[in-house]
Structure 1
């Protein structure tokens, strides 16, 4: 270690580079999809790229891409303990979803709206039956379903709520579309019961798709340091556990992938809507860009189903509508929990989140859980911290001998370097020993940053006093200022090898620079760093007292 200056500059550059790298990754996900090829249902390339602008659709496996349903159509409201759905009877699409356990903003009683259909923004979940005899493949338009009532409510003591919608075609085939909601669940089961009482077999194909406006007037971007969360399509297949496919890529190339299961989703900060395809071979994942509507689609098509004359058959898929709850999403579909995107440091972030979750289970308060997590992390790192300050103390003791080497060899850098290495070897001093704790600490810092950014459990989570949301910055900047003061104290307590006055001035400004950066970080992250600094001050005081007893350390000069 040459000096504290180098350590702090390296730490600063590492923080800045990694956060910029993650911001760039969120804004520009890698391209992994292939260009659209011939579809499994036999459409040629022109048919596959055809996007109707009205309610008319193709019958040979082409999925409807009609505009969002106007408000004049009949709407049904479905209420469970976790979800409030608005279903359009034309097509049976979900055109509105409120998450009843999540407020829209911290000080609002309005519930968070996940799916919506407004003049400014469209975000809806569509599903239906296409194929030769599917009701959604009718050129006259999508089917108008009949419902027994306009409002459905999950009653007290009731575990499931089923909402049946029926449509009968001209041949007497009855299609019953059933939405099933379960208590304490964000999964909506969407099934089709096909009752074929005609004289001919019926061939249909289940599809589910998510349609969303590319631009959003309400979308918030990150500030100079806080990366904005990813919003856009994503999917999972047998070959790819989790892949973002942003709106730009949807515009450039249509997805056409085949998988035995998988899911397709629309992601946003803390929340996700996702169709979970049936567990069968031959599911097709696709995307479409609707230039004329400013919207994009990602969806799946299941294998065609043949229902013999005089028989019935049921096909179904599931739809996740809710927050990014890792445990519940993992139970709903393989790899759906990966939408909680911790980036390339997931192997550190995942254990950190589990530790936080465990500590919060008995601490109740997420802020206290962050403090306890800091104690655990710093406790584990204590041997490294002790080695760091021991190395710093030994380096300080070697300063007279290093000065003698400089006077002896003058400007001969090669001989000076050889002499320094021999001295370090003789005195058993590792010049890089003081850097290791910083190197270990920074990945933990970045990982915790993304845990706080991506974990919905911390959304609107209060700490105490003025900190009512740990996932956003301190509104009064108290924590960043305290963090800067603690960093200044650490600097004053630490032995230094810096003798140049200019370098000393630069060192004095480092706490101010770091305080400025932390002004924009989530309060939970700043709390972690502040408590970590307090623990460091305590450990540093204890370690230096032990070193003083061994004659390896003396109190730093007031001018240092």
Structure 2
């Protein structure tokens, strides 16, 4: 059997399955409209604040009853500007209700900055306190006057919002922004001016609907939803559907780790301090398609006349792996390569290293593809030599099939004799190709998941390696290269099989019309290198075969 045809059939079958699976996910209907979700959200009072378990409560301190609270009125917003982002903050709860990333553009409009948080997905970061009369993310705060823009030479900007708690208790929410960082430190400061000790809890949560981000398509579906990481359970992705039917399984209690809302290229993650006991939770708001995922942390007992402070860091921005690793252990796993992480991680490191040398992500892809092709040259050569030998003996195989078409056993016997006399292993090229497949699939996932490709130009008309080729030039080149590869392979004796094989380049070509141009560039370069290698080996084999025949004559 021709190894090349076998592998192509396997790839075609796998791609067809992935296409169907992604189409099913992409077409999955949403339960409610955003307008309905907003109404449900606004109608909820303080009762939607999470509750800590008995295990998280301080020893001897029962969980304080909650006071029903009407939604805040006269809500204002203000904007904080740093070197990387513009953050819109609401006086209701001090929530982060808007996040505009200054270094990233919208996928559908390159003239506008990308908004991670905002009204489009009801996406925001919220926080509150749990305890009798203490403010929640529904309470109205007052901003303390101060600068709202990170000035030149200033490394840190702090915003303070204050609210009244029960009699004698003062509460402040403090947000700290840092230069060159997507991390926001979110802290609660509680001053107990009453005559009784209190033992509150603080909760920090991310709210979002379950709608895929813009730029998604059925040809290239990526994960959108919550994820949790702990030292014990490692990285766990959770689907919105499982949260909705309350079947979600994830680590709920730990003294380490983080919780995040993940989407293609971007992430919002809550990172409590290491060693602090915490509880993670996920839930769907009734009557809506809004989901809240968060963490509850205890605040140490606050005696009369004393104060306490607790804080959690929020990373909200692009999945830049260096920044993710610096923020928290394991946070870089949101760039999810699945079971191929062990291969994909060093590939990304190599791609990043090459980019540092050439200064262009497109050329870095070209150089890396060439380097991988060179590394696998001996294995590829063995596969192509096997195919070249098969190409030489194909006419004789056709004659055998015509001669023994009615005798299957005799046909197999004669074919084995031919393989032995010509020293051909019909499966000789299979192992080399199978060894290479995980590497090339890992490279595929690296290019698909790397936010560095977003908005990165290559040459001429390719201005964004994360978007489809606007003029379909690369997909057309890929189709032509695949057709040439087919022509270099032995022609299948079966006419129907031959037609199917010749149709495959066009099937793949249609699929790649919607793929990011960086991925198509990788396939084009790989195909061109394969054609050159296959042509050279086939030419050498045919030349050697002709010389041998001339010598016999």
TM-score range, shorter chain: 0.7 to 0.9
How many residue pairs get matched?
Answer: 522
Cα gap change, 1:553/1:526 in structure 2, threshold over 3 Å: closer, same or farther?
farther
CA distance in 2, matches of 1:353, 1:369: 11
CA distance in 1, matches of 2:259, 2:169: 30
Where does residue 13 of structure 1 map in the other structure? Answer: 13
CA distance in 2, matches of 1:68, 1:464: 53
Where does residue 90 of structure 1 map in the other structure? Answer: 92
Where does residue 475 of structure 2 map in the other structure? Answer: 480
2:506 corresponds to 1:512: yes
Q: Note the C-alpha offset of 1:497.
A: 5.2
2:320 corresponds to 1:325: yes
Cα gap change, 1:78/1:510 in structure 2, threshold over 3 Å: closer, same or farther?
closer
Where does residue 224 of structure 2 map in the other structure? Answer: 231
Cα gap change, 1:64/1:355 in structure 2, threshold over 3 Å: closer, same or farther?
farther
Select which of 151, 161, 167 maps to 1:165: 161
Cα gap change, 1:435/1:11 in structure 2, threshold over 3 Å: closer, same or farther?
farther
Where does residue 144 of structure 1 map in the other structure? Answer: 140
CA distance in 2, matches of 1:231, 1:64: 35
SS in 1 for 2:441: helix
Superposed CA offset, 1:487-512 (max 9, x none) = 22233334x25344444444443433
Cα gap change, 1:206/1:7 in structure 2, threshold over 3 Å: closer, same or farther?
closer
Q: Is the 8 A contact 1:26 1:229 kept in 2?
A: no
My pick for the range that moved more, 393-402 or 519-528, is 393-402
Structure 2: segments with no counterpart, 5+ residues:
29-41, 52-62
Where does residue 37 of structure 1 map in the other structure? Answer: none
Where does residue 275 of structure 1 map in the other structure? Answer: 270
2:336 corresponds to 1:336: no
Cα gap change, 1:160/1:437 in structure 2, threshold over 3 Å: closer, same or farther?
same
Q: Note the C-alpha offset of 1:463.
A: 1.2
Q: Normalised by the size of structure 1, how large is the TM-score?
A: 0.83
How do 1:415-426 and structure 2 match up within 5 A? Answer: 416-417=411-412, 420-421=415-416, 424=419
Q: Is the 8 A contact 1:63 1:207 kept in 2?
A: no
Cα gap change, 1:391/1:258 in structure 2, threshold over 3 Å: closer, same or farther?
same
Where does residue 44 of structure 1 map in the other structure? Answer: none
SS in 1 for 2:148: strand
- C-alpha root-mean-square deviation of aligned residues, in Å? 3.4
Where does residue 393 of structure 1 map in the other structure? Answer: 388
Structure 1: segments with no counterpart, 5+ residues:
29-50, 556-560
Where does residue 551 of structure 1 map in the other structure? Answer: 545
Q: Note the C-alpha offset of 1:270.
A: 1.2
Q: Note the C-alpha offset of 1:10.
A: 3.0
Q: Is the 8 A contact 2:175 2:185 kept in 1?
A: yes
Where does residue 352 of structure 2 map in the other structure? Answer: 357
CA distance in 1, matches of 2:130, 2:491: 75
How do 1:396-545 and structure 2 match up within 5 A? Answer: 396-399=391-394, 411-414=406-409, 416-417=411-412, 420-421=415-416, 424=419, 427-494=422-489, 496=490, 498-545=492-539
CA distance in 2, matches of 1:321, 1:420: 63
Q: Normalised by the size of structure 2, how large is the TM-score?
A: 0.84
Where does residue 39 of structure 2 map in the other structure? Answer: none
Where does residue 242 of structure 1 map in the other structure? Answer: 235
My pick for the range that moved more, 185-194 or 76-85, is 76-85
CA distance in 1, matches of 2:443, 2:263: 19
Select which of 300, 306, 309 maps to 2:295: 300
CA distance in 1, matches of 2:546, 2:272: 66
Where does residue 129 of structure 1 map in the other structure? Answer: 129
Where does residue 382 of structure 1 map in the other structure? Answer: 377
Select which of 355, 363, 370 maps to 2:365: 370
CA distance in 1, matches of 2:330, 2:414: 56
Superposed CA offset, 1:382-419 (max 9, x none) = 11221122212333454577568668866443454455
Cα gap change, 1:500/1:261 in structure 2, threshold over 3 Å: closer, same or farther?
closer
SS in 2 for 1:109: strand
Q: Is the 8 A contact 1:231 1:269 kept in 2?
A: yes
